Chain A
Amino acid sequence: MGEARIGVFVCHCGTNIGASVDVPQVVEYVKGLPNVVHVERNLFTCSEEGVSAIKKAIAGYNLNRVVVASCTPTTHEPLFRAACEEAGLNKYLFEFVNIREQCSWVHMRQPEEATEKAKDLIRMGIAKASLLEPLEEVKVQVTPSALVIGGGVVGMNAALNLAEQGFEVQLVEKENQLGGILLYVHKLFTTDEEASKIIEPLVQRVKNHSQIKTYLSTKVKSVSGFIGDFEATLDQNGRESHVKVGTIIVAIGAEELKPAGQYGYGKLPNVMTQLELEQRMKRGELDGQNVVMINCVGARVPERTYCSGFCCMTAVKNATLIKQNSPEARVWVLHRDLMAYGVEFENYYRKSMEQGVRFIRYGLEKPPEVIGNGKAEKVKVWHHLMGREIELPADMVVLTTPLVPRVDNEAISKILKVPLSEQGFFLEAHLKLRPVEFATDGIYICGSARWPTDIANGISQAYAASSKAAIPMRTGYVKPEAITALVDEDRCSGCGTCELLCPFKAIELQSRNGKRVSHVAEAICKGCGTCGAACPSGAITMNHFRDVEILAQIEALFS
């Protein structure tokens, strides 16, 4: 590469940085730092003007490294990397310094300290930049076929969306029929259509599609490989088969919590969950005129803090359907908060009240009490507005419980090497910015496996996940980030520490001239660097975060 010739661009970000960091002073300071041949400040480096200034400077000053000091890399790193590439500079010769989120915005009342901190951070960035090396991304071919795990409404929609684009789909369902949890649901909010009217035609479309191969009573036993080239072993009632796919979509849904021991559930025959009520309604087996529903059973409590989102609407729906079925029935919904967001849900809730469903709010400090001998007979609840306890007659008590993660989640998370959240649901790459994909390339997530969701939302996610999966399959190849580990085979002692530590099984020991050495499969390596931190021989280089680069940052800070 020769001597580093670094260009530094310090951003004012309007007043976002400029109001607390003295940018002109920083620029003057940076001019005197080693290897810096050009410094400028921009009102907005991310503007077209700023980006073209970078490109011009690369050519004009013959820059071979670029440092931008502005916001966080999450915002504009791709933009500035692209600018470098367009000007003929390898994008890995770019370094981002964050002086907004981690400096100007958090020290707004300390301009002097913020300015000093910005200088330090930029000095550290320059030290790293001068050691950066160009990296080449490998091209990986993508098999135009997808594995969809889960044959519920979400999985089937994902499968169809891909199949209709011409991709082959392997659809795996662990039960002996397609349909998932919707097979047990009576009617759907807010349309009050029968669930079977939705699910049956969908199952037919999936069955009839020549591009979809369905595996019933089948579980995914293991998965190896990486984006573009996964191989999955399927276990169909003990019979194993192998499929090769380019992408994987997880759509295994969730299950209804059975609140054993709460409100007499499991002991009193007329205490049931919403889903169990739906099955009775489907069979037309509703007895009694007095129905009490209790919402948030096992949800938004210390041991399960989340809100399952759609269950309030399930309760509203079933309560209303009971009233419609027999107008003289008395139905009470005991709730904590009622989630009826948006236009549709709010109207649906209002309609429910108009039809005579009674809503009573309770608090966790005084939860309702189910009373009865051998069966539930009445429910006592503290009425907030009346300021006293009231008693409701109950022929049926229906508990509204949240969706909980499937037991299979843990196994699938291990097989695919994708994370679960604290609650046990699958954890997407980024809550806001990458909601339907995992951090692992080529694996996508949708529906209630990620978070309890209603059907409309689940289908939107299925479309989103399958569209994301279609991108690499349509392109035909991917270029994973070149931030991967590299083994110096001469230094490697073949101890295998790295092989054991690698969470992605990207490292294996191979034979080289009679010596065992570690080998990194670049396409699998995600660049965490755990191997690099552990290698006792110092044989592993973690590209773009090399030891020398990080040590240089530390030295620069204290220089």
Chain B
Amino acid sequence: MENFEPKIVAFLCNWCSYAGADLAGTSRIQYAPNVRAIRVMCSGRVSPTFILKAFSMGADGVLIGSCHFGDCHYIGGNYKAARRIALLKKMLRQLGIKEEQLWLEQVSAAEGSLFAQVINDMTAKLKELGPLAPSAPPQPAFEEDQR
């Protein structure tokens, strides 16, 4: 497990997170090479299908990078993303995927160092969790269901 290098698929919104990732680059901030970004125009574009697809293909973690609330280029796409992700997390539990494997982070175009930090933190967390085991026992969607 020591050599486990998690694979992260990141859906980054064009205007904030993608630009934040670019800024990390122009600022030469070094971070873990575990992430592969897919550019979308808005975090609101990220259909739960894409996230499930990434996990089913072998991603150990999925990151959705959005704008900060109030800063969305499309007014409120990030709110829509936040609501979808919250719901999807409940569903992922039932599939045996841990909440910590799906991250929604708000990174502005001015936050290059935050982007790098998010990738480093996420990589470290996923290393701790170990590879996504497809056979992990399913969990009930809601905590209260465990009663």
Which A residues are within 8 Å of any B CB, using their own CB? 72-74, 98, 100-103, 105-110, 113-114, 116-117, 120-121, 124, 417, 419-422, 427, 429-431, 439, 483, 501, 503-504, 526-530, 532-534, 542, 545, 547, 550-551, 553-555, 557-558
Please tell me if the beta carbons of B45 and A545 are within 8 angstroms of each other in the complex: yes
Please tell me if the beta carbons of B47 and A431 are within 8 angstroms of each other in the complex: no
Interface string of B1-39 (1 = CB under 8 A from A): 000000101000001001101111110111101001111
List residues of chain B with CB within 8 A of the CB of A107. Answer: 30-31, 33
| C-alpha gap A528/B15 in the complex (Å) | 11
Q: Contacting A551 at CB < 8 Å: which of B7, B50, B74?
A: B50
Cβ distance B120 to chain A, nearest Cβ, rounded Å: 11
Please tell me if the beta carbons of B44 and A533 are within 8 angstroms of each other in the complex: yes
Q: Contacting B74 at CB < 8 Å: which of A108, A113, A530, A558?
A: A530
Please tell me if the beta carbons of A108 and B30 are within 8 angstroms of each other in the complex: yes
Q: In the complex, what residue of chain A is closest to B12 when comparing beta carbons?
A: A102
Count of B residues near A, CB < 8 Å?
49
Q: Contacting A421 at CB < 8 Å: which of B7, B15, B21, B71?
A: B71
Q: Contacting B77 at CB < 8 Å: which of A72, A74, A503, A557?
A: A503
If the complex has contacts A422-B70, A530-B44, are A72 and B22 also in contact, measured as CB distance less than 8 A? yes
Cβ distance A85 to chain B, nearest Cβ, rounded Å: 21
Please tell me if the beta carbons of A503 and B75 are within 8 angstroms of each other in the complex: yes
If the complex has contacts A117-B36, A503-B77, A555-B57, are A529 and B42 also in contact, measured as CB distance less than 8 A? yes
Cβ distance A104 to chain B, nearest Cβ, rounded Å: 8
Q: In the complex, what residue of chain A is closest to B49 when comparing beta carbons?
A: A547
Asked if B72 is at the interface (CB within 8 A of a chain A CB), the reply is yes
Asked if B125 is at the interface (CB within 8 A of a chain A CB), the reply is no
Give 14 A-B pairs besides A550-B38, A551-B53, A557-B7 with Cβ atoms closer than 8 angstroms.
A74-B19, A98-B22, A107-B30, A110-B33, A113-B33, A116-B33, A121-B37, A429-B73, A431-B110, A504-B74, A528-B73, A547-B47, A550-B50, A554-B9
Q: Contacting A542 at CB < 8 Å: which of B19, B38, B45, B73?
A: B45
Please tell me if the beta carbons of B25 and A106 are within 8 angstroms of each other in the complex: yes
Q: Contacting B41 at CB < 8 Å: which of A117, A503, A527?
A: A527
Q: Contacting A558 at CB < 8 Å: which of B57, B70, B84?
A: B57
Please tell me if the beta carbons of B54 and A529 are within 8 angstroms of each other in the complex: no
If the complex has contacts A101-B21, A558-B57, are A533 and B36 also in contact, measured as CB distance less than 8 A? no
List residues of chain B with CB within 8 A of the CB of A117. Answer: 33, 36
If the complex has contacts A526-B74, A532-B45, A533-B84, are A106 and B110 also in contact, measured as CB distance less than 8 A? no
If the complex has contacts A419-B70, A530-B45, are A120 and B28 also in contact, measured as CB distance less than 8 A? no
List residues of chain B with CB within 8 A of the CB of A417. Answer: 75
List residues of chain B with CB within 8 A of the CB of A101. Answer: 21-26
Asked if B107 is at the interface (CB within 8 A of a chain A CB), the reply is no
| C-alpha gap A431/B65 in the complex (Å) | 19
| C-alpha gap A109/B47 in the complex (Å) | 35
| C-alpha gap A73/B25 in the complex (Å) | 13
Asked if B40 is at the interface (CB within 8 A of a chain A CB), the reply is yes
Please tell me if the beta carbons of B57 and A557 are within 8 angstroms of each other in the complex: yes
Please tell me if the beta carbons of B22 and A530 are within 8 angstroms of each other in the complex: no
| C-alpha gap A116/B73 in the complex (Å) | 33
List residues of chain B with CB within 8 A of the CB of A427. Answer: 71
Please tell me if the beta carbons of B49 and A528 are within 8 angstroms of each other in the complex: no
| C-alpha gap A551/B50 in the complex (Å) | 6
| C-alpha gap A257/B74 in the complex (Å) | 30
Please tell me if the beta carbons of A106 and B24 are within 8 angstroms of each other in the complex: yes
| C-alpha gap A501/B74 in the complex (Å) | 11
A106, A116, A547: most-surrounded residue (chain B CB, <10 A)? A106
Please tell me if the beta carbons of A106 and B28 are within 8 angstroms of each other in the complex: yes
List residues of chain B with CB within 8 A of the CB of A121. Answer: 36-37
Cβ distance A420 to chain B, nearest Cβ, rounded Å: 7
Cβ distance A438 to chain B, nearest Cβ, rounded Å: 9
Please tell me if the beta carbons of B74 and A528 are within 8 angstroms of each other in the complex: yes
Interface string of B62-104 (1 = CB under 8 A from A): 0000001011111111001000100000000000000000000
Asked if B59 is at the interface (CB within 8 A of a chain A CB), the reply is yes
| C-alpha gap A538/B23 in the complex (Å) | 35
Asked if B109 is at the interface (CB within 8 A of a chain A CB), the reply is yes
Please tell me if the beta carbons of A105 and B28 are within 8 angstroms of each other in the complex: yes
In the complex, which residues 95-139 of chain B have their Cβ closer than 8 Å to any Cβ of chain A? 109-110, 116
Please tell me if the beta carbons of A550 and B40 are within 8 angstroms of each other in the complex: yes
Please name the 8 residue pairs, one residue from A and one from B, whose CB atoms are nearest each other, closest first.
Answer: A101-B25, A529-B45, A530-B44, A528-B74, A113-B33, A528-B42, A558-B57, A533-B47
